Amino acid sequence: MIEVPRAAIISDKIATLKDEKDGKPLCSFFSYGTNDLTQMTMGISRDDSNGFIPQYMKLGIMQDDPFQTIDEEGVGYMVEHSAKLGKSVNPNMSLSVCGEHGGDPKSIHFFDSIGLHYVSCSPYRVPVARLSVAQARIKARAKEVEAAKHTFNAVAELKRQSARIESGGSSNIVVQ
C-alpha cells in the first residue's frame, strides 16, 4: 500500500525487495491509498477540510475537492511517479487505487491515462466507476485509432512517392 509520499518517492526500491530465503520478489502490486496520500501530500486533514475547501473552491484556489477528485498536479504526480518507478524494475507489476478517488469519473480518467489497472470504491459508486472506466477505454482506443490512421496515411504517401520515383517520375525534393 502506497499511502505516504516517501513510499511514492522510493517505489523502485520497494518494488525490488526480495525474500531473503527464496529470493522471490516481495512486491507484485502497488495499491495507492489516495485518501491518506492526499492528506500527507497536501498537509491537510480530511476531517477538517470541510471548513476551508469549499471557500478555496469558491475563490478559485482549488478546482475540485482534493478528497473527491485527485489533485493531478500534486497527489496525481506522486501516483504517476511511483507507478513509473515500480514498473521500471517490475514491468508486470499490478497497479491499483483504493479510496474515494476510485469512484470519481475525473480521477478514473486520470488513473487510466497514467496506466493504472484497477480502482476500488464504495459499492454505491461501482456503476459510475464502471461507466467511467468504459469511457476512458473508448477515449484511449479512439486516440490509438487516430494515431494508426496517421501512420497508415504516412506509409501510403511514402509508398506513392517511392513508386513515382521508381517509375521515373519527378521528385518533390529540391536540392539547393
DSSP category for residue 2: B
106 vs 141, more confident: 106
Under 8 Å between Cβ of 102 and 132: no
Q: Which residue, among 66, 74, 70, 148, has the nearest Cα to 109 in the 3D structure?
A: 70
| Mean pLDDT of the region 154-171 | 66
DSSP category for residue 171: P
pLDDT at 156 over 80: no
The one-letter amino acid code at 13 reads K
Q: Is the pTM of this model over 0.85?
A: no
| Mean pLDDT of the region 10-39 | 94
- Predicted confidence band of residue 169 (pLDDT cuts 50, 70, 90): low
| Mean pLDDT of the region 135-158 | 80
pLDDT at 5 over 80: yes
- Pick left, alpha or beta for residue 162 (phi over 0 → left; psi -120 to 50 → alpha; otherwise beta): alpha
